[in-house]
Amino acid sequence: MLDIKYIRENADIVKKGVEDKQLQSTVDIDLLLKLDSEYRNLLRQVETKRSLKNQLSEDISKISDKSTRENLVKEASTVKTDLSKLEKELKVLKVQIDEMMLWVPNVPAEDVPFGESEEGNVILRTEGKIPNFDFTPKDHLELGTSLGIVDVERGVKIGGFRSYFLKNEALELQMALLRHSLDLIKSKGFDILDVPWMVRPEFFEGTGYFPWGQDDHYMTQDGNALIGTAEVSLTSYHAGEILEESSLPIKLAGISPCYRREIGSYGKDTKGIFRVHQFTKVEQVVLLPQGEDLSREWHDKMLGYSEDVLKDLGLPYQVVLMCTGDMGAGQRKKYDIDTWFPSQQKYRETHSDSYFLDFQARRLNMRYKDKEGKIRFVNTLNNTVIASPRILAAILENYQTEDGKVLVPEVLKKYVDFEKIG
């Protein structure tokens, strides 16, 4: 959530941010500012009436003359009635403004390129060596099916569209991926957590997934939602708290299943286990003191952690700077990492790394006391360490052999008792 004072003083910048993120249909900044002006005018009237009501009460208690006292009581009654009416109007207006504020997106950083879709994203660099097969590489589904380690057909029978089973070596390899990622992020000083998978709606609002992405989340009969990333639980961990600046940065990493309805992806990646409704992810979240330079420093640092994982795995990848139209509503700046898929002869998105400044913290009322004793909102960041089976699919394709077997990446061999599958 943006500070309403910032919106008042930077209306053109905020409106441009709304337009650049293609969110004009969700919020009207001019209307918000109009309601805000009405609210402040009404608030002044309420405060004046409250002051008058208190003064009349004080005067009545001091006056003994019956006639004068009766006149003041009558006036006080009128003021009380008027105040009650104004307070009700104020409350209605406040609710309306608060609801609109939830739809105001974060303003993109100055170096974020404009673009209406993924076509506007900018490739910053590529890393790793693309495998040069002297045979036509198979896709991960063909490999997984032939090796008897991925079963999509029965997954769909049991769980419906975009469901799957991982069997034997595929499951062990995925567990090795997750374990290696946890070991790496733990070595960077992160606390590792198993997080709630069902979370109250206010924390989806707090992290910026609601109201924009509500349709893409599964809801329970109790009104909670299933997380699409551990970011929701991790970022909300200190919601409503006032931290000490000396405790920052706070570095949290969570492992969890993730659930996404994949609204808007109809017809995309319907084959295999690349885009699925349920997957497992290791996510990292950092809470920082205020300061965009510090957030940008950590943004790049967290990107490096994900790159370390991919370099350990020997997977080729590219780093992409996301454009305005392909970012989330709450993100200030976002990198994606795309990993190479030989069967498609292209890079596909496997990681996301974002910073928010105080956008999420304002929604979560998550603050800290600085060295001077002033209360400020923390700044937040999050990043994918690993997500599988998407990366598992990339390993199957990049480590395949001509005879249809799959080699195990060297770094994962210590977690499993086999060196190849098949």
Instruction: Inform me whether the pLDDT recorded for 233 exceeds 90.
Output: yes
Instruction: Examine residue 110 and state whether it is found in any structural domain, yes or no.
Output: no
At residue 316, the 3 state secondary structure works out as coil
Residues 255 and 373 occupy one common structural domain? yes
What is the spatial distance between Cα 181 and Cα 22, in angstroms, rounded to a whole number?
35
Report if pTM > 0.75.
yes
- Percent of the chain at pLDDT > 90 equals 91
Domain boundary among 101, 136, 161: 101
Confidence of residue 83 (pLDDT cuts 50, 70, 90): very high
Confidence of residue 389 (pLDDT cuts 50, 70, 90): very high
Least confident of 69-73, 233-237, 259-263, 320-324: 69-73
Q: Are 203 and 233 in contact (CB under 8 A)?
A: yes
Average pLDDT over residues 303-319: 98
Number of C-beta neighbours around residue 159 at 10 A: 14
pLDDT tens digit string along 330-355?
999 999 999 999 999 999 999 999 99
Instruction: Examine residue 244 and state whether it is found in any structural domain, yes or no.
Output: yes
Residue 94 token pair: 């406040």
Q: Catalytic residue among 275, 296, 348, 376, which?
A: 275
| 260 flagged as catalytic | yes
pLDDT number for residue 66: 80
pLDDT number for residue 48: 93
Q: Catalytic residue among 162, 260, 362, 367, which?
A: 260
Residues 88 and 125 occupy one common structural domain? no
Number of C-beta neighbours around residue 44 at 10 A: 10
What is the spatial distance between Cα 237 and Cα 115, in angstroms, rounded to a whole number?
34
β-strand partners of 259:
278
| 153 flagged as catalytic | no
Instruction: Inform me whether the pLDDT recorded for 264 exceeds 80.
Output: no
Average pLDDT over residues 250-255: 98
Residues 156 and 291 occupy one common structural domain? yes
| 414: Cα separation from own chain's centroid | 33
Residues 197 and 80 occupy one common structural domain? no
Instruction: Examine residue 106 and state whether it is found in any structural domain, yes or no.
Output: no
pLDDT number for residue 64: 78
Q: Catalytic residue among 352, 362, 363, 367, which?
A: 352
Residues 260 and 154 occupy one common structural domain? yes
Q: Catalytic residue among 172, 283, 349, 397, which?
A: 349
Residue 372 token pair: 């001077």
386: Cβ contacts below 8 Å, ≥ 6 apart: 177, 178, 180, 181, 281, 282, 306, 309
pLDDT tens digit string along 364-382?
999 999 999 999 999 999 9
Average pLDDT over residues 220-231: 96
Residues 29 and 97 occupy one common structural domain? yes
pLDDT number for residue 261: 94
Average pLDDT over residues 283-306: 98
| 44 flagged as catalytic | no
Residues 122 and 254 occupy one common structural domain? yes
**CATH code of the domain containing 322:** 3.30.930.10
Instruction: Examine residue 215 and state whether it is found in any structural domain, yes or no.
Output: yes
Instruction: Examine residue 112 and state whether it is found in any structural domain, yes or no.
Output: no
Range of the domain at 175: 118-421
| 390 flagged as catalytic | yes
pLDDT tens digit string along 93-145?
999 999 999 999 999 999 999 999 999 999 999 999 999 999 999 999 999 99
Domain boundary among 58, 74, 101: 101
Residue 212 token pair: 């924009």
pLDDT number for residue 63: 80
pLDDT number for residue 16: 98
Domain boundary among 101, 135, 170: 101
Is-cis flag, bond preceding 289, omega within 30? no
Residues 374 and 239 occupy one common structural domain? yes
Residues 275 and 319 occupy one common structural domain? yes
Average pLDDT over residues 78-96: 94
Q: Which of 196, 198, 253, 236 is nearest to 383 (CA)?
A: 253
At residue 145, the 3 state secondary structure works out as helix
Residues 90 and 124 occupy one common structural domain? no
Instruction: Examine residue 25 and state whether it is found in any structural domain, yes or no.
Output: yes
Task: Output the average pLDDT for the chain.
Answer: 96
Confidence of residue 69 (pLDDT cuts 50, 70, 90): confident
Q: Which of 266, 320, 298, 260 is nearest to 115 (CA)?
A: 320
Confidence of residue 79 (pLDDT cuts 50, 70, 90): confident
What is the spatial distance between Cα 339 and Cα 314, in angstroms, rounded to a whole number?
11
pLDDT number for residue 142: 97
pLDDT number for residue 103: 97
**CATH code of the domain containing 77:** 1.10.287.40
| 154 flagged as catalytic | no
Instruction: Examine residue 113 and state whether it is found in any structural domain, yes or no.
Output: no
Instruction: Inform me whether the pLDDT recorded for 53 exceeds 90.
Output: no
Instruction: Inform me whether the pLDDT recorded for 414 exceeds 80.
Output: yes
Average pLDDT over residues 25-30: 96
Residues 94 and 157 occupy one common structural domain? no
What is the spatial distance between Cα 166 and Cα 276, in angstroms, rounded to a whole number?
13
pLDDT tens digit string along 153-204?
999 999 999 999 999 999 999 999 999 999 999 999 999 999 999 999 999 9
Residues 33 and 174 occupy one common structural domain? no
At residue 155, the 3 state secondary structure works out as helix
Confidence of residue 61 (pLDDT cuts 50, 70, 90): confident
Q: Which of 134, 128, 130, 145 is nearest to 406 (CA)?
A: 145
Task: Report the domain count for the chain.
Answer: 2
Instruction: Examine residue 185 and state whether it is found in any structural domain, yes or no.
Output: yes
